[in-house]
Amino acid sequence: MLNQLQSKSSLLKVMNSTFMDLPAPKNISFSWNMGSLLFLCLFIQIMTGMLLASSYAPSMDSSFYMVIFTMENINKNWLIRYIHANGASLFFICLYYHISRNIYYYSYMYKHTWSIGVTIFILTMATAFLGYVLPINQMSYWGASVITNLLSEVPYIGPNLIELVWGSPSVNTPTIMRFFSFHFFLPFVIMALTVVHIVLLHETGSKNPLGISSVNNKYMFNPIFIFKDLLGFITILFAFMFISLLMPLTLGDDENFFNLNPYVTPIHIQPEWYFLFAYAILRSIPNKMGGIIALVMAIFILYFLPYLHSASMASSYYPINKLMFFLFLSDVSLLTWIGMAPVEAPYILTGQILSIGYFLFYIIGPLMNIFWEKLIMF
């Protein structure tokens, strides 16, 4: 009994330090809402995912029709699926905004917190890809075939690695069963890493627009920031439910409405919108192995940001750096558009130029920081 009371007391202390007494800079804006919104998105995805999993069976032949059947015959299952599908888009909107803000205010200098956050980002991308394949429609099947075939370029173990992922000579029922298992399991890993991320954040504290570190310029998290987060919750949920109820298919692809036909390749294979910038980088490289390396580096370069940054001041405070940051956002947006375009001129050359610009941001940015710091010190 005493151990139980002590355990409850420890849990209450953790919750109190997280939601009540956490000191937070008083000048942080609604841009800092994304962390709490991401936790809300994760909760929505896990809850709706568990409900959908209870009426899903991984099968190459029947999964597509089973999804349609459950949407039509199980009470409110259509709404659950639309919330889950659009919830993935909401998750990535908040995630990309969260990452962008951290780059802008150089929050990546909290190395451990940043590394865990990047790991969460990569696992979220993996989870979203696995879930995209599960309905086994025309686009998801061919998307899975194209992406998993990239593993064939891994030296020495490529063919064996593909067979391990597929569980058969091609994408088939064993593949779907494995994808379903990992799609169900990974969100709980993400949840655990999120807790670690929050704990590390509490050790370092939050950044703020002015870079103020004084403990005298902070407020307790409750009630000011609680109400700020609640306002963000209400606004985002209202927009999210509006889309889920009235425009649930806006972000989908027309090929997702067709059952699998392994003998007919879609005219243009493309992933969901939140993967398009990476997909554009992949196909901008004529060499297959070079494209895979560029794709991997486009994501994993985020791990190296703290080590590329050698200046002591926040990068966003230097003159040209704000312009560079917004040019970088424009570059990523255009790469997303290129990912939807057909593989033909002038989109190929445009994608190559934009891919070079994407990586140049990570190279030129740190050099500009050093230049401005030396100029100011001089």
For the annotated catalytic residues, the residue numbers are 202, 206, 228-229, 272
Report the run of H or E that residue 347 belongs to, with start and end.
helix 347-377
202 is in an annotated binding site: yes
Q: Is there a binding annotation on residue 268?
A: no
| Pick from 138, 141, 143: nearest CA to 173 | 141
CA 114-275-231 angle, 5° bins: 60
Give the pairing of strands 218-220 and 23-25.
antiparallel
Name the amino acid, one letter, at 97.
Y
Per DSSP, what are the bridge partners of residue 23? 220
C-alpha 167/C-alpha 171 separation (Å) is 8
- For 29-69, the DSSP string reads -GGGGHHHHHHHHHHHHHHHHHHHHTT----TTTHHHHHHH
3-state secondary structure at position 22: coil
In 72-164, at which residue ranges do the beta strands (DSSP E only) sit? none
Query: Residue 91 CA to chain centroid, in angstroms?
Result: 7
Residue 186 to residues 115, 124, 143, 348, 362, Cα–Cα distance (Å): 18, 8, 20, 35, 29
Q: Is the dihedral of CA 258, 332, 288, 151 positive or negative?
A: negative
CA distance 88 to 95: 10
Q: Is 21 helix (H, G, I), strand (E, B) or coil?
A: coil
309 marked as binding residue: no
Determine if residue 183 is labeled as part of a ligand binding site. Answer: yes
CA-to-CA separations, 333 to 274, 278, 338, 361, 362, in angstroms, rounded: 10, 11, 9, 14, 17
Residues in binding site: 84, 98, 183, 197, 202
Residues in binding site for a ubiquinone: 202
